[in-house]
Chain A
Amino acid sequence: MLLLIGAACGSAGSNGPTDEPAAAQDPIQAAPTSQNDDASDDTGVASTPVLPVDVNGELDLAAAITELPPARTGLPYLAPPGPQPIGLTIGSLDIDTAEVIDVGVEDNGDMEIPPADKVGWYRFGTSPGEPEGSAVLAAHIAFDGEDGVFIDLDDIELGSLITVSYDDGSTAEFIATAKEQYDKDELPKDSIFARDGEPQLVLITCGGDFNRSLRSYEDNVVVFATPIERT
């Protein structure tokens, strides 16, 4: 018997299983109009695109419907990993193939940061050198008294060459184009962690005033870099 497919669960989920509504059991007629009070009028709904009509003012279905690639069929469903960055070199800051490891998020939702002598690549985001999106590498300025890889990041000169090496032997080169210092509460996270848009590499560490009681810096120092070459 059975069917369905598979999936589920796991360990770290946040929400419990929810019984998802299958809106319309009764085939067809039951098209989902329920949640929009105004869905039934014929004036169109302001928040949606204007419906395409033909020369007679009739709905032009052919123009409105776009064929998409077919749904994926069968299992397993696996997302192949992209190239994994393993090294970072910034000659002007005496950073010579610092080890890069992939990191995620802590239980409290903060980005996971590796030990002081390593650089963390946010693995859920773009990989540096990919054609789209913002790739994030973060490292400590100092941790438990040990200098971090990005201790001198605030001193970087714009135009500096930044090289990322990958586990497949390839490298990508970037040029530092901007440096900003943000209050941590004002870090433009949506753009820094964007998955699409113009490709960029973002280097992040801490800076600004150090709060001794909280053992934390007030600010983030952020360097933005633009890709120039992938070999």
Chain B
Amino acid sequence: MRTPVPSRTRFSLRLLVATAVAALLVPFLALSPASADDGVRIHLIHGIPGVDVDVEAGGANVFEGFSFGDTQDLSALAGATLEGVKVKVAGTDTVAIDGGDITLPAEGNFTVIAHLDAEGTPTLGVFENDATNTAAGEGRLTVRHTAAAPAVDVLAADAVAFANVTNGNGGSLDLAAGTISASVVPTGETEPVVIGPADLTVVEGEHLLVYAVGSLEDGTLNVLTETITGLHTAPAEVNTGNSLPAANGLNATAVALLGALVLASAGGVAVATRRVRA
């Protein structure tokens, strides 16, 4: 790191590594991915570890006991204005995020995530997701910094894939489908690796969105992922032949041989005819 690391940060880094290791061991949860078929998709994700919340709008709780990783589909509210949105500590009137009036997009593909800003204050981030089709053979990867932590670089195959990503920002790439190994380091550094290295599968025709969440200082760094499926493009053509079947006697070699035979036999006939006439 370029700057001296305060001892508290060192301690946190240790926790962070522990968290990352623990994260590696978390089994997958079944997830039914969103479909890209709909004209509008707005998902709300809880991205603050350790705090269960109730969400209020229009003076009443809309849903309660919303916890880390939980996801709600707001698509049916596209274009609506939610008045007086408050995210409250579950079971209390303590407002964690005062959202005011929120007008949801009328169309498009968005993720709203409750997360920590760089200083650790809860906030709502609204991200538009690229739901355009991917090229045949490719998938899309997006990484987003939604954690209480400084700027980072995201490395893949030891190269910087996304540089100097700060809280509230991210990056997106279309990649050949397959599994890549990625890690996260402080901007401009190669270590310490605070997340990963971990394998990620980029599935053809799918958009994988990865959120770094939690707090470096509190040792709660973690990762949330969501997917948008159905973005695939069919191959351009199916070209399944560059010659005629040999069995027909019509492939290039056979045609040449056959032609020679025909000429030869025709010549032979002509000669024979002449002979007869003669």
- Please pick, from B69, B125, B149, the residue contacting A73 in the complex, using a CB distance under 8 A: B69
Q: Chain A nearest CB: distance from B96 CB in Å?
A: 11
**Contact indicator B242/A216 (Cβ below 8 Å):** yes
B138 and A140 contact, CB distance less than 8 A: no
Closest to A191 in B: B234
In the complex, what distance in Å separates the CA atom of A69 from the CA atom of B271? 87
Contacts of B81 in A (CB 8 A): 42
Which residues A1-49 have CB closer than 8 A to chain B? 1-25, 27-33, 35-36, 38-40, 42, 44-45, 47-49
Q: Is the CB of B124 within 8 A of A47?
A: no
Are A20 and B106 closer than 8 Å at their CB atoms? no
Shortest distance in angstroms between A22's beta carbon and chain B's nearest beta carbon? 5
> Would you call A217 and B162 a contact (CB within 8 A)?
no
Residues of chain B within 8 A (CB-CB) of A145 are 243, 246, 251-254
Q: Do A67 and B154 touch across chains, with their CB atoms under 8 A apart?
A: no
Which of A1, A22, A193 interacts with B168 by CB under 8 Å? A22
B146-166 at interface with A (beta carbon < 8 Å) = 147, 149-152, 154-157, 159, 161-163, 165
C-alpha gap A59/B154 in the complex (Å): 42
Q: Given that A69-B30, A145-B252 are known contacts, is A19 also in contact with B235, CB under 8 Å in the complex? A: no
CA distance A78 to B31 in the complex (A): 13
- C-alpha gap A142/B99 in the complex (Å): 65
CB distance from A113 to the nearest CB of B (A): 5
Interface size range on B against A: 35 or more
Contact present for A78 and B179 (CB under 8 Å): yes
B69-91 interface (Cβ within 8 A of A): 69-74, 76-82, 85
Q: Does B103 sit within 8 A of A, measured CB to CB?
A: yes
Do A69 and B97 form a contact, CB below 8 Å, given A4-B165, A109-B135? no
A20 to chain B, nearest CB (A): 5
- Residues in A neighbouring B229, C-beta threshold 8 A: 195
Q: Chain B 174-196 against A: per-residue CB contact (8 Å), 1 yes, 0 no? A: 11111110111110000000111
Chain B 130-151, CB-CB to A under 8 Å as 1, else 0, gives 1000011110011111010111
Contact B136 A109 (CB under 8 A): yes
Pick the contact of A6: B103, B128, B198 (CB < 8 A). B198
Complex: chain B residue closest to A39, CB-CB: B106
Contacting pair B39 A48 (CB below 8 A)? yes
Chain B residues within an 8 Å CB radius of A113: 238-240
Q: Known contacts being A15-B174, A23-B128, is A7 close to B31, with CB within 8 Å?
A: no
Q: Answer whether residue A168 sits at the interface, using C-beta atoms and an 8 A cutoff.
A: no
The answer to the question of B173 belonging to the interface, with a C-beta cut-off of 8 Å to chain A, is: yes
A22 touches B108 (CB 8 A): no
CB proximity of A141 to chain B, nearest CB, Å: 4
What separation, in Å, do the CA atoms of A67 and B260 have in the docked complex?
A: 75
Kindly specify which of A84-92, A159-167, A171-179, A202-210 makes contact with the partner chain: A202-210
Closest to A187 in B: B238
Q: Are A68 and B236 in contact (CB under 8 A)?
A: no
Residues of chain A contacted by B143 (CB below 8 angstroms)? 4-8
A109 → B minimal CB distance (Å)? 4
B62 within 8 A of A: yes
Ordered by A's residue number, 18 sampled pairs between the chains whose C-beta atoms are within 8 Å are A2-B152, A2-B221, A5-B154, A6-B195, A8-B155, A12-B138, A18-B171, A20-B127, A28-B123, A29-B99, A45-B107, A65-B63, A70-B69, A104-B204, A110-B235, A110-B237, A139-B240, A192-B234
Chain A residues in the interface with B (C-beta under 8 A): 1-25, 27-33, 35-36, 38-40, 42, 44-45, 47-49, 51-52, 58-59, 61-62, 64-79, 104-105, 108-111, 113, 122, 124, 138-148, 150-151, 184, 187, 189-190, 192-193, 195-196, 204-206, 210, 212, 215-217, 220
B: which residues have CB within 8 A of A? 1, 9, 13, 16, 20, 22-26, 28-32, 34, 39-40, 43, 45, 57-58, 62-63, 68-74, 76-82, 85, 97-108, 110, 117, 123-128, 130, 135-138, 141-145, 147, 149-152, 154-157, 159, 161-163, 165, 168-180, 182-186, 194-196, 198-201, 203-205, 208, 210-212, 216, 221-226, 229-230, 232, 234-247, 251-254
